[in-house]
Every structure is written in C-alpha cells, then in structure tokens.
Structure 1
Amino acid sequence: MTVHKRKRGQASLVSVAAAAMLATGFGVAAASGAGASVTATPVPAAAVASAGGVQTVTPGQRITAGGDTVWLTAQGLSVVAPKSSGTSKPDLIRVTDARPGKWTAMARGDASGTLWAGIYRGSVSSSTKVTVKVGGRTLDAEVATLAGKPGWGAFYVVDTHKVGKDKPVITVQN
C-alpha cells in the first residue's frame, strides 16, 4: 500500500492529517514513488554535527533510528527498515516528491513499532522542529539536513507502537 500526502498551506507551520495507515496494523505505508530505485555508496558513520536540534550530515552518512537506518543524499532521504520490509533494499523519498513549503512522509512498521520519516522542502534552521502526533501520542522527530543549506531537511522518529488506523498529524515549525 502506498500513501502519498502533501501539506497545503504556509511553510512556517505545516500541520495536516495524513491518510489512514494500514487497517490491519501491519506492513508498510510509504510516500515514495512506486518503482523508485536507489543507488547509494555507503559512507562510514561519523560524528553528527548539530546546530541546535538539527543534525548536519554528510551525503550518505548513516543514521540509526531504532533498528532502522536513514541517510540523506542530494536526491533525498533513503530508509532501510529490514524488520518491517524483510529486505535491506532502501526506499527513497525524493526531494522533488515534496513541493516547496510542503512535506511528504512514510511510515514503516510492524508489531514492535513504527518508523516515521519524511522530507520537508523549505528553509531548515537550528530552530526547526517536527512533531508527529498519532494515537494520542506526540513524538518529537529528529531533524537532519545536508551542509550548505540545500533548501530541505529530513525528519525521522521511532514510535514504539505498531502502524495502525490512527491518522497522524505532522507539524513542521521554523
């Protein structure tokens, strides 16, 4: 199942309910394009530079998020969630999947939890904050960007609850 939702409205505060996730509570819901292929060269994990709450990473630098791995390249955000997908093949959310001032996101999970990850296409600063509200919980996402002010940033957060029917609300604040 592929779910692709984009926020409409002001870039400074993005808050929208996304589509209902998998009714069974298991599997994958993604905002990446169907058939997207990824070629990435692994880069050894390095110390992550942080500007306030925002991490500045090098292209291809792996970030561990629970049992999953994410990384940024000039093309976008790659996500490997082997426990829920059964594969180590990355999913890619392309920068172009999000229109300027908007976000696009994916949820990957199983009974043990869910990784929420996405891209916000707009200015990212040390004060940028992203929250995911789902099932009565508010999750503070980590925010990462590439050096040099690329005009977009990625966010990710691990929820200890499985993907369910609850509609998430994702908010980006600068």
Structure 2
Amino acid sequence: MTRMQKYLAAAVVAAALVGAPTVSYAAAPGRAAYGTNTHAPSAQIVAPGEHVAGGVPGFELWLTEEGKYWTTPGDSDPQFRSVIDGNIDRSQPGVSMQAESDNGHVVLSGLYYGGKGTASRVTVETSAGTVRGKLLELAGKPGWGVWYATADVPVGDDGGLDALGTITVYDTRGKVYAQLPQN
C-alpha cells in the first residue's frame, strides 16, 4: 500500500469513528436501561433555536434565551419551560424534570442551574439501573442548561415514572453541581 493509500484509509476510519453514535448502557442483569450519554467532558454548546434530537424519534429539544423547548414522541406540539419567569432561582443549585412515559419507555429532560463550576454530566437513578444523559447549554455563561435522557423501565400504574429516582448533575471535578431531590 502506498503512503497516499495509507493516509486515505486512516482518514476514512477516523471519519467513520467520529460519526458513530455512542450510547451508555447500565442495568441490573436481566433488566434494560439505556441512556444517551457520550463521554464528553461538558455540555454541548448549541445556538439559540438549534434543534437537537433526543435519542428517540419525535424527541427534540432546543434552547432560547427564554428557556427550554421540547417535543416528545406522543406530542409533536412544542412544550416550554421558562428560565426567566421567576419560577426558578438561578442563584441556588437546582434541577427540574419533565417526563413522558409510554409502556415503560420514558423520555426525560429538565433544566439545571445555579451550581458552582462547569456542569459536565448527568445521571438518573431508575429501578432498572443508572442512566447517563446529555447536557445542552447556550454559548457564554447563561447560568443554566438542559439535561435529557431516555430509559426503559418496568411499567407500573403510572407508566413507569415510579421507577425514577435521584437526578444528579456533576461538575468537571466529579462533584455535585445540582440534584433532584435535594439532599
């Protein structure tokens, strides 16, 4: 193989690896749980209004300076959670959660805000294991961001939402940035 062919082959492999999606799995034996996390050291920076696919068809998120917008598989009409209406105190660490369940498949997202340091990763405890999610933020230092994840959990009377536990956003040092419920 010539030197040029080697460089071309290396470029093709690198492009394939960069474009490959990654998903983290964590579940007790015999149970399924999946998340939408890569090993990125911090939040994905997005432009205002930039739509991000949330890991399942129909689940999309986008941010504006006013807050978080999203659609879910069961409802294509945009929903909204404000960061400027006074309902959250961005001077204190906090996490919110919005969830939709369909036969044990749960689409999760929420705001995180007010923590010290730089948000780096999020985990959601479920009865089927720990799910790792993704973080989104607008450029600059808005003081808030959005987390999202999907999970397959056992179906209960409330469609699986009783299987959800603590949501923790960590900073780049591995310390708790914000948590729901607050400990």
Answer yes or no: same fold by TM over 0.5. Answer: yes
AA aligned opposite 1:53: S
Report % sequence identity.
28
The answer on whether the counterparts of 2:70 and 2:80 sit within 8 Å (CA) in structure 1 is yes
C-alpha distance after superposition, 1:117-155 (max 9, x if no partner): 000112586652211111141111100100011111110
What CA distance in whole angstroms lies between the structure 2 residues aligned with 1:61 and 1:125? Answer: 25
1:53 aligns to 2:42 (yes or no)? yes
- Larger Rg computed on CA atoms: 2
Unaligned runs of 5+ in 1: 1-50
AA aligned opposite 1:80: T
1:133 aligns to 2:122 (yes or no)? no
Quickly say closer, same or farther: Cα 1:53–1:140, change in 2 above 3 A: same
Unaligned runs of 5+ in 2: 1-39, 172-183
Runs of 4+ in 1 over 6 A off after TM superposition: none
For residues 48-127 of structure 1, the aligned pairs below 5 Å read 52-65=41-54, 66-67=56-57, 68-81=59-72, 83-84=73-74, 87-95=75-83, 96-100=86-90, 101-111=93-103, 113-123=105-115
- Structure 1 residue 160 displacement after superposition: 2.6
- Bigger RCO of structures 1 and 2 (CA < 8 A, at least 6 apart): 1
Q: Look up the SS of the partner of 1:89 in the other structure.
A: strand
State the Cα RMSD in Å: 2.3
What CA distance in whole angstroms lies between the structure 2 residues aligned with 1:124 and 1:152? Answer: 11
Q: Look up the SS of the partner of 1:116 in the other structure.
A: strand
Which structure carries more helix by proportion? Answer: 2
Q: For 1:170, which of 167, 171, 175 is the aligned residue?
A: 167
Q: TM-score, normalised by structure 1?
A: 0.62
The answer on whether the counterparts of 2:124 and 2:131 sit within 8 Å (CA) in structure 1 is yes
Structure 2 counterpart of 1:146: 138
Q: Look up the SS of the partner of 2:163 in the other structure.
A: coil
- Structure 1 residue 105 displacement after superposition: 1.0
Q: Look up the SS of the partner of 1:150 in the other structure.
A: coil
Count, aligned residues: 122
Q: Look up the SS of the partner of 1:91 in the other structure.
A: strand
The answer on whether the counterparts of 2:52 and 2:60 sit within 8 Å (CA) in structure 1 is yes
